[in-house]
């Protein structure tokens, strides 16, 4: 199952750091997502695109997870030679991540 | 929105890391340029609303607040707005200061002195206090340079509601609202549609957002008669946009904690939001340092049909050989197949050969001559592997923007009030 089937996502950039917020489509899926959408799984999925550590933060008020990917933007939007220097497309790549069926 | 009279204050966040870099490039070429090129049009179109009492705050000055202020005064005088007052916030240009301090740029692991004359600009993020000062002095058009995105809204909120900026609880609430508004349509359905899971109506005419404060509650809404949507999903996603640790969202005004922010859908494109907490502001200000990166060349050529990936591979080998010949004049390069891996990297499993693709070559060169020569090499690929077509090429002189920090008491912000 792809993450896209159970969650929404939005990516943003600050310097060479990308953050991707993952919001379950149904609030009760949050605990399942916390257990399955781990830092290790996300780091593995992005592979060589992300050269620094990945950190996950909780936003219990809105029921979302926030992934912070360091050294993830080839130097950042004003420096990068990549075709998507902001990493705007990272949200879509995140949603393609394969998870076990619930 | 301005003409409808529904809002008292309009905030314009005109700057991002990339746009500030572009503004610095323009100013380097022309000392009268480097402010937001849309400023004259904004002034002309908003003049009638200013007459009716609208207040406008924006970081229109970008890399050249002085020239932007001059232009603002001229346009508003020409529009017959005598008696009005303009507030100009300067002092975010800290280049001399950080050169003197020889600060370090963490991303590069280098001090400014090691970068020499490649350092072209340094702008400190300015908070809401000077905005409040200008509004209290009766300014109805306030402009600055690197005014922090959220502070463009925190200033008017604190001014209008009489909230003291040094009360972290109230500054954090205002920051939460400013953060939700600063990216405009991203909280009204922009950057959101992903059918069939996320459908957005009227995407060609997304409404701009505004915040309303009534009975101690904030609601996010959008301009009347517009497309898009405001619901819990878009507000929640935007709340965490470009936030790292949600318990420590750092701005020049406050250390905001969004961990327990909650949203409540009121229907009819209205979402109530609240629950931000605050701690005192950081003792340092973020500084964006502009560094000359040399010449950037981006060139592409397309291949189609069976074998297109193999032919693009041959083309890449030819260009790699050319780059070897340029020696140290090419400082960095990369190759991507647009349509295969340019955006996705290795995240996609093998899905077979596409119907068509473009080989994209991007590089930094020390000289324009080398950049042109490298782009020529891609153009010569018309004579390379079979069937290469549609070469495009572009050479630019980018300024890289790198974050650093400075003690806030070192930065001297000056506000100037000009009577029209």
Read out DSSP for B341-391? TTTTTT-SPP----SEEEEEEEEEESSHHHHHHHHHHHHGGGGSSTT-EEE
What is the per-residue pLDDT across B204-253, written as a single tens digit (0 to 9) for each?
999 999 999 999 999 999 999 999 999 999 999 999 999 999 999 999 99
Closest Cα partner for B41 from B12, B21, B5? B12
Chain mean pLDDT for chain A: 96
Under a CB-based contact definition with an 8 Å cutoff, are residues B155 and B57 in contact?
Answer: yes
Q: What is residue B118's predicted lDDT score, i.e. its pLDDT?
A: 93
The DSSP result for B209-225, as a single string, is EEEEEETTEEEEEE-TT
Q: Is B190 on the interface with A (CB under 8 A)?
A: no
Gyration radius (Cα) of chain A, Å: 13
The complex scores an ipTM of: 0.95
CB distance A97 to A2 below 8 Å: yes
CA separation, residue A100 to residues A1, A33, A35, A86, B64 (Å): 6, 11, 11, 30, 53
- Put simply, the chain B residues between 228 and 247 with a CB less than 8 A from any chain A CB are 233, 236-247
Q: How many CA atoms lie within 13 A of B158 on its CB side?
A: 33
Q: How many CA atoms lie within 13 A of B175 on its CB side?
A: 34
B108 contact A CB<8A: no
Closest CA to A20 of B256, B243, B262: B243
CA gap A10, A43 in Å, rounded: 17
State whether residue B198 sits within 8 Å of chain A by CB: yes
pLDDT at residue B112, rounded to an integer: 97
C-alpha distance across the termini of chain B, in Å: 25
Asked whether B33 and B60 are in contact (CB, 8 A), the reply is no
CA A33, CA B401: separation in Å to the nearest integer?
35
Q: Which of B194, B262, B338 sits opposite A83 (nearest CB)?
A: B338
- Are residues B400 and A59, on separate chains, in Cβ contact within 8 Å? no
- Provide the pLDDT for residue A102: 80
Residue B93's contacts (CB-CB under 8 Å, 6 or more residues apart) are B65, B121, B122, B123, B145
pLDDT tens for each residue of chain B, 420 residues long:
999 889 999 999 999 877 887 898 899 889 999 999 999 999 999 999 999 999 999 999 999 999 999 999 999 999 999 999 999 999 999 999 999 999 999 999 999 999 999 998 999 999 999 999 999 999 999 999 999 999 999 999 999 999 999 999 999 999 999 999 999 999 999 999 999 999 999 999 999 999 999 999 999 999 999 999 999 999 999 999 999 999 999 999 999 999 999 999 999 999 999 999 999 999 999 999 999 999 999 999 999 999 999 999 999 999 999 999 999 999 999 999 999 999 999 887 777 889 999 999 999 999 999 999 999 999 999 999 999 999 999 999 999 999 999 999 999 999 999 999
Q: By C-alpha distance, which of B144, B175, B133 is closest to B72?
A: B144
Choose among A2, A1, A54, A59: nearest CA to A30: A59
H/E element holding A18? strand A17-24
Alpha carbons B44 and B109: distance in angstroms, whole number: 45
Distance of CA B138 to the CA centre of its chain: 28
Distances (CA, A) of B222 to B11, B86, B229, B310: 14, 28, 8, 50
The answer to whether the CB of B122 falls within 8 A of the CB of B100 is: no
- Calpha distance B371→B391 (Å, rounded): 15
Chain B residues in contact with A89 (beta carbon < 8 A) = 343-344
In this structure, is the dihedral angle defined by the CA atoms of residues A61, A67, A71 and A75, taken in order, positive or negative? negative
Averaged pLDDT, A27-36 = 96
Task: State the fold for domain A3-95.
Answer: Alpha-Beta Plaits (3.30.70)
Tens-place pLDDT, residues B53-68: 999 999 999 999 999 9
β-bridge partners, B280? none
Helices (H), B231-330: 232-239, 308-326
Show the DSSP H helices in chain A as ranges: 30-36, 39-46, 90-95
Residues of chain B with Cβ-Cβ distance to A78 below 8 Å are 17-18, 21, 398-401
Q: How far apart are CA B364 and CA B83, in angstroms?
A: 51
CA atoms within 13 A on the CB side of B187: 29
Chain B residues near residue A23 by CB distance under 8 angstroms: 233, 236-237
Distance, CA of B71 to chain centre: 22
Domain residue ranges in chain A: 3-95
Residues from chain A contacting residue B331 (CB–CB below 8 Å): none
């Amino acid at each position: 199952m792809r993450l896209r089937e159970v969650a929404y996502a939005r990516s943003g950039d600050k310097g060479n750091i990308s953050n991707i917020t993952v919001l379950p489509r149904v609030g009760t899926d949050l605990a399942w997502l916390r257990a399955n959408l781990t830092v290790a799984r996300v780091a593995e999925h992005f592979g060589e695109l992300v050269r620094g550590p990945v950190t996950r933060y909780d936003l219990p008020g809105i029921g979302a997870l926030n992934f912070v990917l360091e050294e993830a933007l080839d130097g950042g939007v004003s420096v990068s030679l990549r075709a998507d220097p902001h990493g705007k497309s990272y949200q879509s790549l995140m949603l393609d991540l394969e998870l076990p069926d619930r | 929105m301005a003409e409808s009279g529904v809002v008292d204050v309009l905030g314009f966040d005109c700057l991002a890391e990339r746009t500030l870099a572009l503004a610095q490039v323009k100013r380097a070429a022309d000392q009268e340029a480097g402010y937001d090129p849309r400023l004259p049009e904004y002034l002309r179109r908003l003049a009638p609303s200013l007459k009716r009492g609208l207040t406008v705050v924006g970081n229109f000055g970008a890399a050249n607040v002085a020239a932007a202020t001059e232009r603002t005064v001229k346009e508003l005088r020409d529009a017959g707005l005598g008696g009005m007052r303009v507030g100009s916030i300067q002092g975010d240009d800290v280049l001399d200061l950080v050169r003197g301090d020889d600060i370090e740029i963490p991303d590069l692991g280098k001090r400014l002195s090691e970068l020499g004359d490649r350092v072209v600009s340094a702008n400190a993020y300015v908070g809401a206090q000077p905005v409040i000062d200008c509004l209290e002095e009766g300014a109805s058009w306030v402009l600055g340079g690197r005014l922090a995105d959220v502070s463009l809204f925190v200033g008017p909120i604190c001014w209008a509601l009489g909230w003291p900026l040094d009360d972290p609880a109230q500054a954090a609430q205002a920051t939460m609202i400013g953060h939700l508004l600063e990216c405009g349509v991203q909280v009204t359905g922009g950057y959101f549609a992903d059918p069939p899971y996320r459908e957005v109506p009227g995407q060609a005419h997304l409404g701009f957002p505004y915040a309303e404060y009534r009975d101690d509650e904030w609601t996010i809404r959008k301009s009347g008669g517009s497309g898009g949507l405001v619901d819990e999903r878009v507000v929640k996603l935007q709340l965490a946009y470009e936030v790292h640790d949600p318990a420590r969202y750092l701005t020049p005004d406050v250390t905001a904690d969004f961990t327990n922010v909650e949203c409540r859908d009121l229907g009819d494109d209205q979402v109530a939001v609240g629950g931000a907490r605050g701690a005192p502001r950081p003792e340092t200000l973020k500084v964006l340092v502009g560094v000359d990166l040399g010449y950037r060349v981006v060139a592409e050529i397309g291949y189609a049909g069976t074998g297109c990936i193999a032919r693009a591979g041959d083309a890449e080998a030819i260009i790699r050989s050319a780059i070897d010949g340029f020696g140290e004049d090419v400082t960095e390069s990369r190759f991507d197949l647009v349509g295969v891996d340019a955006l996705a990297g290795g995240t996609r499993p093998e899905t077979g050969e596409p119907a068509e693709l473009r080989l994209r070559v991007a590089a930094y060169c020390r000289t324009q001559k080398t950049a042109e020569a490298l782009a020529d090499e891609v153009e010569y690929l018309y004579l390379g592997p079979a069937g290469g077509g549609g070469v495009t090429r572009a050479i630019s002189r980018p300024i890289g923007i790198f974050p650093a920090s400075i003690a806030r008491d070192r930065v001297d912000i000056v506000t100037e009030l000009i009577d029209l």
